[in-house]
Chains A and B, each alone.
Chain A
Protein backbone atom coordinates (compact mmCIF):
# COMPACT_ATOMS: atom_id res chain seq x y z
CA UNK A 1 0.00 0.00 0.00
CA UNK A 2 2.74 2.47 1.02
CA UNK A 3 4.85 1.55 -1.98
CA UNK A 4 1.90 2.15 -4.28
CA UNK A 5 1.22 5.52 -2.65
CA UNK A 6 4.89 6.49 -3.02
CA UNK A 7 4.79 5.53 -6.70
CA UNK A 8 1.64 7.59 -7.11
CA UNK A 9 3.34 10.57 -5.43
CA UNK A 10 6.31 10.21 -7.77
CA UNK A 11 4.12 9.84 -10.86
CA UNK A 12 2.23 13.03 -10.00
CA UNK A 13 5.53 14.80 -9.25
CA UNK A 14 6.81 13.86 -12.72
CA UNK A 15 3.54 15.07 -14.27
CA UNK A 16 3.70 18.41 -12.41
CA UNK A 17 7.35 18.75 -13.42
CA UNK A 18 6.38 18.21 -17.07
CA UNK A 19 3.59 20.79 -16.89
CA UNK A 20 5.90 23.29 -15.17
CA UNK A 21 8.65 22.75 -17.75
CA UNK A 22 6.14 23.18 -20.59
CA UNK A 23 4.87 26.49 -19.17
CA UNK A 24 8.43 27.69 -18.58
CA UNK A 25 9.51 26.98 -22.14
CA UNK A 26 6.34 28.56 -23.56
CA UNK A 27 6.71 31.68 -21.40
CA UNK A 28 10.36 32.25 -22.32
CA UNK A 29 10.48 30.64 -25.77
CA UNK A 30 12.41 33.54 -27.31
CA UNK A 31 15.20 33.19 -24.73
CA UNK A 32 15.25 29.39 -25.16
CA UNK A 33 15.60 29.81 -28.95
CA UNK A 34 18.46 32.30 -28.57
CA UNK A 35 20.15 29.93 -26.13
CA UNK A 36 19.84 26.90 -28.42
CA UNK A 37 21.41 28.94 -31.23
CA UNK A 38 24.37 29.58 -28.91
CA UNK A 39 23.76 33.34 -28.78
CA UNK A 40 22.62 33.68 -25.17
CA UNK A 41 25.70 35.52 -23.89
CA UNK A 42 25.57 38.09 -26.70
CA UNK A 43 21.81 38.51 -26.25
CA UNK A 44 22.22 39.07 -22.51
CA UNK A 45 24.99 41.62 -23.10
CA UNK A 46 22.75 43.57 -25.49
CA UNK A 47 19.80 43.50 -23.08
CA UNK A 48 22.07 44.51 -20.19
CA UNK A 49 23.42 47.46 -22.18
CA UNK A 50 19.87 48.56 -23.05
CA UNK A 51 18.74 48.31 -19.43
CA UNK A 52 21.78 50.18 -18.12
CA UNK A 53 21.38 52.94 -20.70
CA UNK A 54 18.01 53.68 -19.13
CA UNK A 55 18.68 52.79 -15.47
CA UNK A 56 22.07 54.49 -15.18
CA UNK A 57 21.57 57.33 -17.62
CA UNK A 58 24.27 59.95 -17.11
CA UNK A 59 26.91 57.65 -15.60
CA UNK A 60 30.07 57.75 -17.72
CA UNK A 61 32.12 54.58 -18.20
CA UNK A 62 35.77 53.86 -18.97
CA UNK A 63 37.55 51.00 -20.73
CA UNK A 64 40.23 48.83 -19.13
CA UNK A 65 43.07 50.83 -20.74
CA UNK A 66 41.53 54.14 -19.65
CA UNK A 67 41.02 52.84 -16.11
CA UNK A 68 44.65 51.76 -15.92
CA UNK A 69 45.84 55.14 -17.21
CA UNK A 70 43.68 56.93 -14.64
CA UNK A 71 45.05 54.71 -11.84
CA UNK A 72 48.61 55.59 -12.92
CA UNK A 73 47.60 59.26 -12.93
CA UNK A 74 46.45 59.01 -9.30
CA UNK A 75 42.69 58.75 -9.60
CA UNK A 76 40.83 57.53 -6.52
CA UNK A 77 39.63 53.97 -7.09
CA UNK A 78 36.46 52.78 -5.34
CA UNK A 79 35.88 49.03 -5.01
CA UNK A 80 32.11 48.42 -4.91
CA UNK A 81 32.39 44.69 -4.16
CA UNK A 82 31.58 42.97 -0.88
CA UNK A 83 34.19 43.45 1.91
CA UNK A 84 35.15 39.73 1.78
CA UNK A 85 36.09 40.03 -1.91
CA UNK A 86 37.88 43.33 -1.33
CA UNK A 87 39.95 41.90 1.52
CA UNK A 88 41.15 39.03 -0.68
CA UNK A 89 42.43 41.19 -3.52
CA UNK A 90 41.81 44.67 -4.93
CA UNK A 91 43.29 47.45 -7.02
CA UNK A 92 46.16 49.04 -4.98
CA UNK A 93 44.99 52.14 -3.12
CA UNK A 94 41.29 51.42 -3.66
CA UNK A 95 38.67 52.12 -1.00
CA UNK A 96 35.95 49.56 -0.33
CA UNK A 97 32.52 51.13 -0.73
CA UNK A 98 29.67 48.71 -1.57
CA UNK A 99 26.32 50.26 -2.67
CA UNK A 100 24.64 49.55 0.70
CA UNK A 101 27.39 51.48 2.54
CA UNK A 102 26.94 54.50 0.25
CA UNK A 103 23.18 54.35 0.86
CA UNK A 104 23.68 54.08 4.62
CA UNK A 105 26.29 56.83 4.96
CA UNK A 106 24.62 59.23 2.51
CA UNK A 107 26.29 62.67 2.43
CA UNK A 108 28.93 61.41 4.90
CA UNK A 109 30.39 59.14 2.22
CA UNK A 110 34.00 59.94 1.25
CA UNK A 111 34.33 62.75 3.78
CA UNK A 112 37.35 64.88 2.98
CA UNK A 113 37.54 63.90 -0.68
CA UNK A 114 37.23 66.99 -2.93
CA UNK A 115 34.08 66.98 -5.01
CA UNK A 116 36.11 67.43 -8.21
CA UNK A 117 38.50 64.52 -7.49
CA UNK A 118 38.79 62.00 -10.33
CA UNK A 119 37.05 58.84 -9.10
CA UNK A 120 36.85 55.43 -10.79
CA UNK A 121 34.38 52.87 -9.44
CA UNK A 122 34.61 49.15 -10.21
CA UNK A 123 32.98 45.90 -9.11
CA UNK A 124 33.72 42.25 -9.88
CA UNK A 125 32.95 41.80 -13.60
CA UNK A 126 30.84 43.01 -16.51
CA UNK A 127 27.55 41.57 -15.27
CA UNK A 128 27.57 43.31 -11.88
CA UNK A 129 25.75 46.61 -11.42
CA UNK A 130 27.38 47.64 -8.14
CA UNK A 131 29.94 49.97 -9.78
CA UNK A 132 27.21 51.79 -11.71
CA UNK A 133 25.04 52.07 -8.60
CA UNK A 134 27.86 53.56 -6.52
CA UNK A 135 28.94 55.89 -9.36
CA UNK A 136 25.38 57.14 -9.77
CA UNK A 137 25.03 57.70 -6.03
CA UNK A 138 28.35 59.57 -5.81
CA UNK A 139 27.26 61.81 -8.68
CA UNK A 140 24.04 62.51 -6.80
CA UNK A 141 26.16 63.45 -3.76
CA UNK A 142 27.92 66.10 -5.83
CA UNK A 143 31.09 64.38 -7.05
CA UNK A 144 31.63 65.66 -10.57
CA UNK A 145 34.42 63.43 -11.94
CA UNK A 146 33.01 59.96 -11.36
CA UNK A 147 33.54 57.15 -13.87
CA UNK A 148 32.40 53.52 -13.78
CA UNK A 149 34.82 50.83 -14.91
CA UNK A 150 32.24 48.21 -15.86
CA UNK A 151 34.61 45.43 -16.97
CA UNK A 152 35.54 45.24 -13.32
CA UNK A 153 38.28 43.66 -11.28
CA UNK A 154 38.19 40.41 -13.28
CA UNK A 155 39.38 42.25 -16.44
CA UNK A 156 41.95 44.22 -14.40
CA UNK A 157 43.38 41.04 -12.90
CA UNK A 158 43.35 39.12 -16.20
CA UNK A 159 45.26 41.99 -17.84
CA UNK A 160 48.01 41.47 -15.25
CA UNK A 161 47.68 44.95 -13.75
CA UNK A 162 48.87 45.47 -10.14
CA UNK A 163 46.74 44.04 -7.38
CA UNK A 164 46.92 44.30 -3.59
CA UNK A 165 46.42 41.09 -1.62
CA UNK A 166 47.25 42.52 1.82
CA UNK A 167 44.34 42.38 4.27
Chain B
Protein backbone atom coordinates (compact mmCIF):
# COMPACT_ATOMS: atom_id res chain seq x y z
CA UNK B 1 0.00 0.00 0.00
CA UNK B 2 2.77 2.41 1.03
CA UNK B 3 4.73 1.46 -2.10
CA UNK B 4 1.71 2.19 -4.28
CA UNK B 5 1.16 5.55 -2.60
CA UNK B 6 4.85 6.31 -3.07
CA UNK B 7 4.57 5.54 -6.77
CA UNK B 8 1.46 7.72 -7.17
CA UNK B 9 3.17 10.69 -5.50
CA UNK B 10 6.27 10.15 -7.63
CA UNK B 11 4.22 10.08 -10.83
CA UNK B 12 2.26 13.17 -9.81
CA UNK B 13 5.48 15.09 -9.15
CA UNK B 14 6.96 13.89 -12.45
CA UNK B 15 3.83 14.89 -14.35
CA UNK B 16 3.85 18.31 -12.68
CA UNK B 17 7.50 18.86 -13.64
CA UNK B 18 6.76 17.69 -17.19
CA UNK B 19 3.81 20.09 -17.37
CA UNK B 20 6.01 23.01 -16.25
CA UNK B 21 8.49 22.27 -19.04
CA UNK B 22 5.70 21.80 -21.60
CA UNK B 23 4.36 25.23 -20.64
CA UNK B 24 7.81 26.84 -20.81
CA UNK B 25 8.56 25.15 -24.15
CA UNK B 26 5.24 26.17 -25.69
CA UNK B 27 5.75 29.83 -24.72
CA UNK B 28 9.00 29.81 -26.66
CA UNK B 29 7.72 27.70 -29.55
CA UNK B 30 4.74 30.01 -30.08
CA UNK B 31 6.96 33.13 -30.03
CA UNK B 32 10.11 32.02 -31.89
CA UNK B 33 11.24 35.52 -32.87
CA UNK B 34 10.95 36.89 -29.35
CA UNK B 35 12.83 33.87 -28.06
CA UNK B 36 15.54 34.26 -30.73
CA UNK B 37 15.95 37.88 -29.58
CA UNK B 38 16.33 36.64 -26.00
CA UNK B 39 18.98 34.11 -27.12
CA UNK B 40 20.87 36.82 -29.02
CA UNK B 41 20.73 39.14 -26.01
CA UNK B 42 22.84 36.69 -23.97
CA UNK B 43 25.69 37.32 -26.45
CA UNK B 44 27.01 33.80 -25.93
CA UNK B 45 26.34 32.42 -29.40
CA UNK B 46 27.18 33.81 -32.82
CA UNK B 47 24.17 35.00 -34.81
CA UNK B 48 24.56 32.01 -37.15
CA UNK B 49 23.89 29.60 -34.24
CA UNK B 50 21.38 31.67 -32.26
CA UNK B 51 18.56 30.77 -34.68
CA UNK B 52 19.36 27.07 -34.35
CA UNK B 53 19.38 27.34 -30.55
CA UNK B 54 16.08 29.25 -30.59
CA UNK B 55 14.54 26.54 -32.80
CA UNK B 56 15.82 23.55 -30.83
CA UNK B 57 15.65 24.66 -27.18
CA UNK B 58 11.82 24.84 -26.93
CA UNK B 59 11.61 21.27 -28.23
CA UNK B 60 14.24 20.15 -25.75
CA UNK B 61 11.78 21.24 -23.09
CA UNK B 62 8.60 20.11 -24.83
CA UNK B 63 9.62 16.58 -25.84
CA UNK B 64 10.98 15.25 -22.54
CA UNK B 65 8.28 17.22 -20.71
CA UNK B 66 5.52 15.50 -22.70
CA UNK B 67 7.16 12.07 -22.44
CA UNK B 68 7.53 12.54 -18.68
CA UNK B 69 3.82 13.31 -18.35
CA UNK B 70 3.03 10.23 -20.45
CA UNK B 71 5.38 8.12 -18.35
CA UNK B 72 7.70 7.06 -21.19
CA UNK B 73 11.38 6.60 -20.28
CA UNK B 74 10.90 8.79 -17.25
CA UNK B 75 14.45 8.67 -15.90
CA UNK B 76 15.92 9.60 -19.29
CA UNK B 77 13.50 12.52 -19.49
CA UNK B 78 14.49 13.62 -15.97
CA UNK B 79 18.16 13.40 -16.95
CA UNK B 80 17.55 15.60 -19.98
CA UNK B 81 15.49 18.16 -18.09
CA UNK B 82 18.05 18.23 -15.28
CA UNK B 83 20.91 18.76 -17.71
CA UNK B 84 18.92 21.48 -19.46
CA UNK B 85 18.27 23.24 -16.13
CA UNK B 86 21.94 22.88 -15.14
CA UNK B 87 23.14 24.31 -18.46
CA UNK B 88 20.71 27.22 -18.18
CA UNK B 89 21.81 27.88 -14.60
CA UNK B 90 25.41 28.12 -15.84
CA UNK B 91 24.32 30.56 -18.57
CA UNK B 92 22.44 32.67 -16.01
CA UNK B 93 25.43 32.82 -13.66
CA UNK B 94 27.81 33.74 -16.51
CA UNK B 95 25.39 36.47 -17.63
CA UNK B 96 25.06 37.81 -14.08
CA UNK B 97 28.86 37.85 -13.76
CA UNK B 98 29.09 39.84 -17.01
CA UNK B 99 26.59 42.36 -15.64
CA UNK B 100 24.15 42.10 -18.55
CA UNK B 101 20.66 43.32 -17.67
CA UNK B 102 18.49 41.39 -20.10
CA UNK B 103 15.22 39.50 -20.10
CA UNK B 104 15.89 35.89 -19.11
CA UNK B 105 13.65 34.47 -21.86
CA UNK B 106 12.63 31.74 -19.43
CA UNK B 107 9.06 31.47 -20.72
CA UNK B 108 7.75 30.84 -17.23
CA UNK B 109 4.83 32.55 -15.52
CA UNK B 110 5.95 36.15 -16.12
CA UNK B 111 8.75 38.16 -17.71
CA UNK B 112 11.79 38.58 -15.56
CA UNK B 113 15.34 39.75 -15.93
CA UNK B 114 18.47 37.67 -15.51
CA UNK B 115 19.25 37.80 -11.80
CA UNK B 116 19.09 35.97 -8.53
CA UNK B 117 15.34 35.24 -8.75
CA UNK B 118 15.69 33.60 -12.19
CA UNK B 119 18.74 31.62 -11.02
CA UNK B 120 16.92 30.39 -7.89
CA UNK B 121 13.88 29.40 -9.95
CA UNK B 122 16.10 27.41 -12.31
CA UNK B 123 18.02 25.82 -9.41
CA UNK B 124 14.67 24.77 -7.94
CA UNK B 125 13.74 22.93 -11.16
CA UNK B 126 17.20 21.35 -11.31
CA UNK B 127 16.80 20.07 -7.74
CA UNK B 128 13.27 18.87 -8.54
CA UNK B 129 14.49 16.83 -11.55
CA UNK B 130 17.50 15.44 -9.66
CA UNK B 131 15.40 14.43 -6.65
CA UNK B 132 12.84 12.69 -8.85
CA UNK B 133 15.57 10.84 -10.75
CA UNK B 134 16.99 9.58 -7.48
CA UNK B 135 13.53 8.66 -6.17
CA UNK B 136 12.56 6.94 -9.43
CA UNK B 137 15.77 4.94 -9.30
CA UNK B 138 14.98 3.81 -5.75
CA UNK B 139 11.53 2.69 -6.84
CA UNK B 140 12.92 0.45 -9.58
CA UNK B 141 13.19 -3.19 -8.42
CA UNK B 142 16.65 -4.77 -8.11
CA UNK B 143 18.51 -1.57 -8.76
CA UNK B 144 20.87 -0.08 -6.21
CA UNK B 145 21.28 3.66 -6.04
CA UNK B 146 23.66 5.18 -8.60
CA UNK B 147 25.82 6.37 -5.74
CA UNK B 148 26.13 2.82 -4.43
CA UNK B 149 27.04 1.39 -7.84
Contact = CB atoms under 8 A, between A and B. Distances in A.
Interface of A: 1-3, 5-6, 9-13, 15-17, 19-21, 23-25, 27-29, 31-38, 40-41, 44, 47-48, 51, 82, 84-85, 124, 127-128
A13 B80 contact: yes
Nearest to B65: A20
Given A16-B64, A35-B48, A44-B33, A28 B54 contact: yes
B145 interface: yes
B37 A127 contact: yes
CB-based closest 10 A-B pairs: A35-B51, A24-B59, A28-B55, A12-B76, A20-B63, A2-B149, A24-B56, A13-B76, A20-B59, A13-B79
B89 interface: no
A25 B55 contact: yes
A84 B32 CA distance: 28
Interface in B84-128: 101, 103, 113
B51 A24 contact: no
Interface of B: 29, 32-33, 36-37, 40-41, 47-52, 54-60, 62-64, 67, 73, 75-77, 79-80, 83, 101, 103, 113, 137, 140, 142-146, 148-149
A44 B59 contact: no
Contacts of A34: 51
B148 A9 contact: no
Contact of B144 (A1, A31, A35, A84): A1
A20 B62 contact: yes
Nearest to A128: B103
A48 to B, nearest CB: 7
Given A1-B144, A41-B47, A47-B33, A31 B59 contact: no
A33 to B, nearest CB: 8
Contacts of A44: 33, 36-37, 40
Interface centre among A6, A12, A33, A35 (most CB of B within 10 A): A35
Given A20-B56, A20-B60, 8 more contacts: A2-B143, A10-B79, A17-B80, A24-B57, A27-B55, A35-B36, A40-B47, A41-B47
Contacts of B140: 5
A33 B54 CA distance: 12
Contacts of B49: 35
Contacts of B137: 5
Contacts of B60: 17, 20-21, 24
16 contacts: A2-B149, A5-B137, A6-B146, A13-B79, A13-B83, A16-B76, A24-B57, A27-B59, A28-B32, A28-B54, A31-B36, A33-B51, A35-B36, A35-B49, A41-B40, A41-B47
Interface centre among B55, B75, B140 (most CB of A within 10 A): B55
